[in-house]
């Protein structure tokens, strides 16, 4: 019996543990020795074709770091170079291109839809010759490690449903987050840390909120919930002991609690009590393990230089990128960052430059850092927002100043590591940057691909809830095989 | 497939002949004589789970034109192979269904590999075979047959039952070879009823009085007293607020403030007044349509306006208006019917006889509200309630709404229901998309449950009448089941939101039906129902789990011992505050903002609106019961969420109950718990008790029983150790007692610090947060 697995199991609730143990270990007899009566009841709740903790096939990626750019950065100022828009600056979007597609209430009543080209210049970089905007010099420098997908599309046109769609596979509703699915599917690698961690930061640009439902476990066990790490002294809620209580005192106190709980266990025989005892022990271990991870004082000067000086300021995007590497390196399955401030309905040229400055270097540094540690192969890194932006201007337009509305028909993201083809540009949009003309990738396809890299057939990673087997990809989705290494 | 069919059937028949032969020979004699197989309880779950996704009610996904959920369809000649039949009653060897599920040939076997569904187990195959032998008889789904009271079952141990519930429970136990536990000790029993009825722990004085009262009515009297306590309404409100997705913010993008709390106060009031369940629900569904409706009845309709409402600029109005209608329809389905009708929003239900048309017919009842998708973006108090809304005036507070807790009504408004003068047209929406109108539909209900009578008004009031028609098979069962679940931790039907074919079957169907009918026959009396359950011998058993019972019934489905259940999030908070004496017992009023780790709202906000920053309350507002803690939907209170409270995003009728390290961290480090330890320590020191009496008193306040000797010894030893420690660490004394706003009356002495630590240990006992 693998002690770690047993302990991990005890950290979940008992019933789930039984079902997991009974199959996850493949040693049923041993399981029933440990817990008499294991197989007499209705304990097993395993899903068809899926055993929690065991992937369907050998995974390429063991962990994911998702650098979510919240608010939706414009593809036209970052990775989808459209010289036509510069040439046709100010001319109206041809109806043949828009083709009646719906617009948000913010611009649907506009009298005209003047096309607007990128304020920033683009150049080609690397072996792949990918076009990258001037606002991302560091990302341009590692472009051969990236797979830029310019043909993402979604149905949602507003932030809340779009974000929810990206994170949970459905626009509405209390479904589990992608990180929760991964935690459910793969389990934990480090018994002292949660499998799914969430880090928040905010840029200076126009912001949109995030919501804890985005990292909710939905109907999955709450052990799979994203644990939000905050900057400052209390990285995990309620982690820090009160002032005046040192580790020795805490240990003593917990020993008394354990002794009392043991008495109760003896009297009542309820296995939940044993679980409670285990949970207190895990809490105690987390109290040491988490602050150790948060401590960047042992990072070398080279690393600090790589991520930039902001990485020493807790709560910044740079600090979160560095922390993401440390968490991932320590076995956290899914590290989800959210960086707010990308909603440029107006004042785009000015705001995007600031936003880009915050994220460019640390995002690139994360890739470089993982690579030099030999971790990039087994870590899938994703960068991108919830939808794209319109090719026409929202509100007043001048050469120096313009804005862009929400655009779900196409947008760009990049992926790196985890068995994704490096140095690749995938998908193509029309010369107006409005419609996809080649290799569209739907959100469900994107999810299917991520799960594939983690060793899961997205159609078989299911959880039965209220009579239905749910998937991250709902009822569709295809693995985008073209971008697999 | 078609091409190979004949060849297939030949080869397969040969294989099957062997298999079928084996079945017959292995199982030996007595096929026909063996126990009658129940379609509803044994066969349907198999068909539903493994077959109906492709051979069920959803016409669009039906394969080979075959439908297995309806007898006539299943007996028919197969569309693609007219000579074969899926089911031939009495003849498994001629039933294609049986041949397919039991085939060794994977290309022939059902369900096919491409469905990702598991094959049937040998037991399941055998059950189906026997069922076909016995005539392949179909029954209506159990939950769609109106419940009837069956006679009390015979039991061997006739001394044990205290009321009707016990006959049903004991009968099952005896069937399974189980015996009930002895009655729990008095103190634990008292704690149980206190939490189950009022959500609060008993005080030490109550405990001693109850233990020393040897009158045979003592227990019953205590239940009656507790039911009259105003905290009963607060306790009952919590699961109802979950089902009604009540919150203090609008949800979505900016998630600004909403002033819906007067509706919550009404819920508490209604439970305390013991408003019968039929009225309670009718007012909430259709209070505004009742002739000469009072403002109280209109306030009740806030139920249907508790859903999220967007304030995100630029949304498409109709898309969100439709979303609200759908939310109401789903909530109606889950909370009141226990049906997953939301599945039929985009397509016919895959398992239950609810068509897409049915869904939109039900939605038609909720589609004519005088509302828009987006009324306003983040703004001042005029945005805190959305149209239609109701003003609450001084006059109301003195009159019909005098249960509300607020002296100042300046601009106070609540979202309520009001229909348009002419009904909006309702259409089936293709794939559930808001602007994809298909056929027009009119208010109606799923015929499989119960048709909507022509005589009923085609509005929400009519819908309420339909719900409380004695022939309605679901309403009473669903509510009784949820009350049972609140008390025993698990419903008689384990899936309280799904009584459909994919839901769990009742563990004790006759008990469920008896309770449901009894509840209806006795005027939908909620307090009576709770008393009935608490008075039963089933409820009063001790919660000791023996290894034998664990072996026979690991999940305690048959209730041969009382369940041990971790109390819910609100009760954890209430226990801590009540035991320390800090609890502020005020009922109702605007929600409050107690201690919360800094930065949570600030980090997640768009920056707009009243709730961009968390402005913590001070003074007495810090000590209100858990149900008054402010719920901002996008960042719900973390200490509640960690104990599995609902985020109120959508209707929720079944909170999970987990056991995690984050819960341990809360009990160890949440300032509310630490402050309560300090307040209690301060109180006990003022009483100048001896150390042993201090330990006993603290233990009784939290665990609500006298400590056993080994418990006292351990805690006394710890108290002494801590005192020695703090005597030599004066700096630590200052630090550890510096928590919360509570000002201790005694000085920050080593005794205070040590007593506080000892109390902390008790708060962290498993038993503290468990109904035992």
Q: Which helix (H) or strand (E) holds A88?
A: none
Residues B303, B417, single domain; the answer is: yes
Per the domain annotation, does B674 fall within a domain? yes
Cβ within 8 Å of residue A69, ≥6 positions away: A339, A342, A359, A383, A384, A385
Residue-level pLDDT at B253: 83
Strand partners for A484: A420
Query: Regarding predicted confidence, which is higher, B501 or A252?
Result: A252
Per the domain annotation, does A397 fall within a domain? yes
Above pLDDT 70, what percent of chain A?
A: 88
Residue-level pLDDT at A232: 66
Strand partners for A239: none
Q: Residue B736 and residue A243: Cβ atoms within 8 Å?
A: yes
Q: Which helix (H) or strand (E) holds A387?
A: none
Per the domain annotation, does A432 fall within a domain? yes
Above pLDDT 90, what percent of chain B?
A: 80
Give the span between the Cα atoms of B668 and A241, in whole angstroms.
7
Residue A167 belongs to a domain with what CATH number?
Answer: 3.40.720.10
Q: What is the per-residue pLDDT across B405-415, written as a single tens digit (0 to 9) for each?
A: 887 778 899 99
The three state secondary structure string of B313-379 is CCCCHHHHHHHHHHHHHHHHHHHHHCCCHHHHCCCCCCCCCCCHHHHHHHHHCCCCECCCCCCCCCC
Cβ atoms of residues B432 and B260 within 8 Å? no
Residues B285, B431, single domain; the answer is: yes
Cβ atoms of residues B132 and B138 within 8 Å? no
Q: How far is A226 from chain B (nearest CA, A)?
A: 11
| Among B158-162, B200-204, B655-659, the least confident range | B655-659
Domain count of the fold of chain B: 3
Q: Residue B498 and residue A467: Cβ atoms within 8 Å?
A: yes
Residue-level pLDDT at A221: 76
- Domain of residue B239: give its range: 232-462
| Helices first, then strands: H and E counts in chain B | 32, 6
Residue A124 neighbours by CB distance under 10 Å = 12
- pLDDT-based confidence at residue A50 (cuts at 50, 70, 90): low
Q: What six digits make up the tokens of B378? A: 């983040």
Residues A77, A184, single domain; the answer is: yes
Residues B431, B299, single domain; the answer is: yes
| Listed residue (B271, B236, B439) closest to B355, CA to CA | B439
| Listed residue (B714, B722, B709) closest to B750, CA to CA | B722
* Nearest Cβ partner for A105 among B253, B315, B725: B315
Give the span between the Cα atoms of A293 and A193, in whole angstroms.
10
Q: What is the per-residue pLDDT across B93-134, written as a single tens digit (0 to 9) for each?
A: 999 999 999 999 988 999 998 888 888 999 999 999 999 999
A477, pLDDT greater than 80:
yes
B22, pLDDT greater than 80:
no
Residue-level pLDDT at B411: 82
Residues B135, B240, single domain; the answer is: no
Domain count of the fold of chain A: 2
Q: Which of residues 380-409 of A touch B (CB under 8 A)?
A: 405-406
Query: Regarding predicted confidence, which is higher, A421 or B27?
Result: A421
Tell me what ipTM this predicted complex has: 0.89
Token pair 């003068």 is at which residue?
B421
Give the span between the Cα atoms of B41 and B30, in whole angstroms.
21
Please provide the average confidence, as pLDDT, over all residues in chain B.
92
Per the domain annotation, does B425 fall within a domain? yes
Residue-level pLDDT at A36: 28
Mean pLDDT confidence for B245-252: 96
Per the domain annotation, does B522 fall within a domain? no
Residues B124, B241, single domain; the answer is: no
Residues A222, A321, single domain; the answer is: yes
Residue-level pLDDT at A10: 38
Q: Which residues of A touch B637 (CB under 8 A)?
A: none
Q: What is the per-residue pLDDT across A268-307, written as a single tens digit (0 to 9) for each?
A: 998 889 989 988 998 999 999 998 988 888 999 999 999 9
- Domain of residue A8: give its range: 1-46
Give the span between the Cα atoms of A197 and B600, in whole angstroms.
15
Residue-level pLDDT at A394: 92
The distance from CA A49 to its chain's CA centroid, rounded to whole angstroms, is: 25
Q: What is the per-residue pLDDT across A100-123, written as a single tens digit (0 to 9) for each?
A: 888 887 888 888 899 999 999 999
Residue-level pLDDT at A30: 29
Give the span between the Cα atoms of A7 and A277, in whole angstroms.
11
Give the span between the Cα atoms of A199 and B262, in whole angstroms.
36
Residues A118, A183, single domain; the answer is: yes
A7, pLDDT greater than 50:
no
Residue-level pLDDT at A233: 67
Q: Which residues of B touch A272 (CB under 8 A)?
A: 564, 566, 659, 766, 770
Per the domain annotation, does A262 fall within a domain? no
Residues B127, B242, single domain; the answer is: no
Residue-level pLDDT at B588: 96
- pLDDT-based confidence at residue A53 (cuts at 50, 70, 90): confident
Give the span between the Cα atoms of B186 and B169, in whole angstroms.
22
Last residue of one domain, picked from the residues B401, B433, B462: B462
Mean pLDDT confidence for A380-389: 97
Whether a cis peptide bond, with omega within 30° of 0, leads into B111 is yes
Distances (CA, A) of A363 to A139, A196, A370, A385: 7, 20, 11, 14
Per the domain annotation, does B638 fall within a domain? no
Residue in A with minimal Cα distance to B716:
A256
A222, pLDDT greater than 90:
no
Residue-level pLDDT at A398: 85
Residues A12, A127, single domain; the answer is: no
Q: What is the per-residue pLDDT across B533-583, written as a single tens digit (0 to 9) for each?
A: 999 999 999 999 999 998 899 889 999 999 999 999 999 999 999 999 999
Mean pLDDT confidence for B522-530: 98
Distances (CA, A) of B732 to A234, A246, A287, B48, B239: 20, 9, 20, 63, 42
Per the domain annotation, does B630 fall within a domain? no
Q: Which helix (H) or strand (E) holds B133?
A: helix B122-133
* Nearest Cβ partner for B664 among A223, A264, A283: A283
Per the domain annotation, does A133 fall within a domain? yes
Q: Which residues of A touch B56 (CB under 8 A)?
A: none
Half-sphere exposure of B723 (CA within 13 A, CB side): 10
Q: How far is A79 from chain B (nearest CA, A)?
A: 26
What are the φ and ψ backbone dihedral angles of B206, each rounded to 5 degrees? -60, -40
Give the span between the Cα atoms of A240 and B404, in whole angstroms.
40
Q: What is the per-residue pLDDT across B337-381, written as a single tens digit (0 to 9) for each?
A: 999 998 889 888 887 889 999 999 999 999 999 999 999 999 999
Q: Which of residues 205-244 of A touch B (CB under 8 A)?
A: 207-213, 216, 221-223, 227-228, 230-232, 234, 236-244
Last residue of one domain, picked from the residues B101, B118, B139: B139
Residue-level pLDDT at B58: 84
Residues A322, A467, single domain; the answer is: yes
Cβ atoms of residues A98 and A83 within 8 Å? no
Mean pLDDT confidence for A344-359: 95
Give the span between the Cα atoms of A17 and A187, in whole angstroms.
12
% helix / strand / coil in chain A, to the nearest 5?
40, 20, 45
Per the domain annotation, does A257 fall within a domain? no
- pLDDT-based confidence at residue B45 (cuts at 50, 70, 90): confident
Q: What six digits make up the tokens of A102? A: 């719906």
What are the φ and ψ backbone dihedral angles of B456, each rounded to 5 degrees? -80, 145
Residues A70, A42, single domain; the answer is: no
A268 touches chain B (CB under 8 A): yes
pTM: 0.84
Give the span between the Cα atoms of B670 and A155, in whole angstroms.
42
Q: Residue A208 and residue B606: Cβ atoms within 8 Å?
A: yes
Cβ atoms of residues B596 and B621 within 8 Å? no
The distance from CA A54 to its chain's CA centroid, rounded to whole angstroms, is: 21
Residues A101, A41, single domain; the answer is: no
Per the domain annotation, does B319 fall within a domain? yes
Residue-level pLDDT at B374: 95
User: Torsion angle of alpha carbons A444, A445, A451, A452, nearest 10°?
Assistant: 160
Residue-level pLDDT at A212: 78
A29, pLDDT greater than 70:
no
DSSP string, A182-208: HHHHH--S-TTS-SEEEEEEE-SS---
Residues A323, A470, single domain; the answer is: yes
A182, pLDDT greater than 90:
yes
Residues B452, B305, single domain; the answer is: yes
A21, pLDDT greater than 60:
no
Last residue of one domain, picked from the residues B407, B436, B462: B462
B297, pLDDT greater than 60:
yes
Half-sphere exposure of A138 (CA within 13 A, CB side): 17
* Nearest Cβ partner for B564 among A159, A249, A268: A268
Residue-level pLDDT at B545: 92
Q: Which of residues 12-31 of A touch B (CB under 8 A)?
A: 13, 15, 18
Mean pLDDT confidence for B70-74: 91
- Pairing, β B426-429 against β B437-441: antiparallel
Residues A353, A461, single domain; the answer is: yes
First-to-final CA distance of chain A: 36
Residues A38, A70, single domain; the answer is: no
What are the φ and ψ backbone dihedral angles of B691, each rounded to 5 degrees? -50, -45
Give the span between the Cα atoms of B451 and B445, in whole angstroms.
6
Q: What is the per-residue pLDDT across B433-442, written as a single tens digit (0 to 9) for each?
A: 999 999 999 9
């Amino acid at each position: 019996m693998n002690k770690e697995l047993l302990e991990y199991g005890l950290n979940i609730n008992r019933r789930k543990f039984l079902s997991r143990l009974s199959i996850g270990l493949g040693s049923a007899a041993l399981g029933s020795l440990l817990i008499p009566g294991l197989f007499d009841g209705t304990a097993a709740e395993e899903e068809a074709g899926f055993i929690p903790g065991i992937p369907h096939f050998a995974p390429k990626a063991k962990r994911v770091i998702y650098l979510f750019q919240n608010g939706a950065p414009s593809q036209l100022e970052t990775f989808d170079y459209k010289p036509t828009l510069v040439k046709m600056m100010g001319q109206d979007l041809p109806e043949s291109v828009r083709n009646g597609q719906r617009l948000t209430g913010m611009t649907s009543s506009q009298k005209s839809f003047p096309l607007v080209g990128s304020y920033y210049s683009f150049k080609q970089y690397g072996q792949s010759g990918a076009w990258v905007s001037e606002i991302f010099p560091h990302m341009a420098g590692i472009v051969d490690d990236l797979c830029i997908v310019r043909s993402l599309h979604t149905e949602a046109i507003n932030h809340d449903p779009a974000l929810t769609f990206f994170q949970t596979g459905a626009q509405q509703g209390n479904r589990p987050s992608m990180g929760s699915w991964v935690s459910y599917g793969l389990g934990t690698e480090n018994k002292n840390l949660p499998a799914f961690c969430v880090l928040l930061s905010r840029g200076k640009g126009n912001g949109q909120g995030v919501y804890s439902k985005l990292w909710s476990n939905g109907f999955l066990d709450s052990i799979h919930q994203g644990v939000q790490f905050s900057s400052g002294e209390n990285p995990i809620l309620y982690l820090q002991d009160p002032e005046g209580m040192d580790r020795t005192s805490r240990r003593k106190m917990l020993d008394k609690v354990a002794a009392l709980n043991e008495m109760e266990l003896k009297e009542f025989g309820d296995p939940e009590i044993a679980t409670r005892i285990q949970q207190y022990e895990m809490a105690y271990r987390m109290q040491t393990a988490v602050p150790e991870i948060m401590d960047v004082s042992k990072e070398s000067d080279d690393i600090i230089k790589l991520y930039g000086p902001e990485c020493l300021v807790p709560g910044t995007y740079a600090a979160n990128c560095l922390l993401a590497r440390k968490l991932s390196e320590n076995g956290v399955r899914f590290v989800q960052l959210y960086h707010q401030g990308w909603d440029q309905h107006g004042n785009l040229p000015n705001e995007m430059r600031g936003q880009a400055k915050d994220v460019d270097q640390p995002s690139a540094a994360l890739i470089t850092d993982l690579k030099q540690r030999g971790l990039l192969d087994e870590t899938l890194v994703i960068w991108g927002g919830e939808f794209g932006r319109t090719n026409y201007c929202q509100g007043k337009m001048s050469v120096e100043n313009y804005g862009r509305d929400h655009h779900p028909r196409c947008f760009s993201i990049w992926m790196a590591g985890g068995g994704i083809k490096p140095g690749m540009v995938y998908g193509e949009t029309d010369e107006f940057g409005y419609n996809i003309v080649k290799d569209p990738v739907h959100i469900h396809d994107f999810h299917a691909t991520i799960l594939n890299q983690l060793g899961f057939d997205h159609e078989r990673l299911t959880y039965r809830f209220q009579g239905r087997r749910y998937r991250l990809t709902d009822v569709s989705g295809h693995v985008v095989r073209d971008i697999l290494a | 497939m078609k091409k190979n069919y004949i060849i297939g059937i030949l080869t397969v028949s040969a294989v099957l002949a062997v298999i079928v032969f084996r079945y017959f020979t292995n199982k030996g004699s007595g096929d026909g004589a063996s126990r009658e197989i129940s379609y509803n309880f044994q066969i349907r779950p198999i068909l539903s789970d493994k077959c109906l996704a492709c051979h069920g009610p959803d016409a669009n996904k039906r394969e080979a034109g075959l439908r297995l959920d309806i007898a006539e369809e299943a007996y028919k000649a197969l569309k693609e192979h007219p000579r074969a039949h899926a089911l031939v009653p009495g003849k498994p060897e001629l039933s294609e269904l049986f041949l397919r599920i039991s085939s060794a040939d994977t290309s022939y076997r059902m369900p096919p590999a491409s469905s990702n569904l598991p094959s049937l187990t040998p037991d399941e195959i055998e059950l189906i075979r026997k069922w076909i032998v016995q005539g392949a008889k179909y029954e209506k789904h159990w939950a769609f047959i109106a419940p009837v009271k069956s006679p009390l079952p015979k039991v061997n141990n006739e001394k044990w039952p205290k009321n009707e519930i016990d006959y049903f429970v004991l009968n099952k136990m005896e069937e399974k070879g189980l015996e009930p536990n002895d009655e729990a000790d008095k103190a634990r029993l008292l704690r149980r009823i206190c939490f189950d009825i009022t959500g609060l722990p008993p005080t030490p004085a109550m405990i001693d009085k109850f233990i020393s009262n040897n009158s045979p009515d003592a227990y019953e009297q205590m239940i009656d007293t507790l039911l009259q306590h105003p905290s009963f309404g607060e306790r009952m409100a919590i699961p109802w607020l979950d089902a009604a997705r009540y919150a203090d913010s609008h949800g979505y993008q900016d998630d600004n403030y909403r002033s819906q709390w007067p509706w919550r106060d009404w819920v508490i009031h209604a439970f305390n007044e013991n408003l019968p369940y039929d009225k309670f629900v009718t007012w909430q569904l259709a209070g505004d349509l009742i002739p000469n409706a009072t403002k109280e009845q209109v306030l009740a309709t806030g139920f249907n306006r508790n859903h999220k409402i967007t304030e995100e600029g630029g949304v498409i109005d109709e898309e969100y208006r439709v979303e609200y209608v759908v939310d109401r329809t789903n909530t109606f389905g889950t909370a009141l019917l226990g049906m997953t009708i939301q599945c039929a929003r985009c397509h016919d239900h895959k398992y239950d006889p609810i068509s897409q048309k049915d869904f939109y017919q039900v939605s038609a009842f909720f589609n004519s509200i005088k509302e828009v998708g987006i009324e306003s973006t983040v703004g001042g108090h005029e945005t805190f309630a959305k149209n239609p809304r109701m003003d609450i005036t001084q006059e109301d507070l003195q009159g019909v709404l005098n249960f509300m807790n607020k002296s100042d009504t300046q601009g106070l408004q609540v979202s309520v229901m009001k229909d348009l003068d002419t009904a909006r047209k309702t259409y089936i929406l293709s794939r559930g998309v808001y602007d994809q109108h298909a056929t027009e539909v009119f208010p109606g209900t799923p015929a499989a449950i119960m048709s909507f009578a022509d005589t009923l008004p085609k509005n929400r009031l009519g819908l309420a009448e339909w719900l409380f028609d004695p022939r309605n098979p679901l309403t009473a069962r669903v509510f009784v089941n949820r009350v049972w679940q609140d008390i025993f931790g698990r419903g008689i039907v384990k899936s309280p939101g799904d009584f459909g074919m994919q839901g769990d079957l009742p563990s004790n169907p006759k008990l469920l039906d008896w309770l449901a009918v009894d509840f209806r026959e006795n005027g939908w009396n909620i307090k009576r129902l709770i008393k009935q359950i608490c008075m039963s011998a089933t409820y009063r058993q001790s919660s000791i789990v023996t290894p034998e019972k664990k072996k026979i019934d690991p999940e305690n489905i048959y209730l041969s011992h009382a369940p041990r259940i971790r109390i819910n999030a609100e009760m954890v908070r209430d226990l801590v505050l009540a035991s320390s004496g800090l609890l502020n017992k005020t009922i109702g009023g605007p929600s409050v903002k107690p201690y919360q780790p800094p930065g949570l709202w600030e980090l997640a906000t768009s920056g707009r609106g009243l709730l961009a920053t968390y402005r913590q309350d001070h003074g007495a507002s810090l000590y209100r019961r858990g149900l008054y803690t402010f719920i901002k939907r996008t960042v719900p209170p973390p200490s509640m969420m960690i104990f599995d409270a609902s985020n109120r995003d959508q209707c929720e009728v079944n909170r999970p109950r987990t056991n995690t390290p984050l819960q341990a961290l809360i009990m160890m480090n949440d300032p509310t718990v630490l402050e309560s330890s300090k307040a209690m320590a301060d109180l006990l020191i003022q009483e100048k008790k001896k150390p042993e009496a201090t330990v006993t008193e603290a233990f009784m306040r939290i665990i609500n029983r006298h400590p056993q000797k080994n418990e006292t010894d351990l805690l006394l030893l710890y108290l002494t150790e801590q005192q020695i420690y703090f005597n030599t660490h004066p700096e630590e004394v200052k630090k550890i007692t510096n928590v919360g706003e509570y000002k201790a009356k005694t000085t920050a002495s080593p005794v205070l610090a040590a007593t506080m630590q000892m109390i902390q240990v008790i708060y962290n006992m498993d038993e503290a947060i468990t109904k035992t």
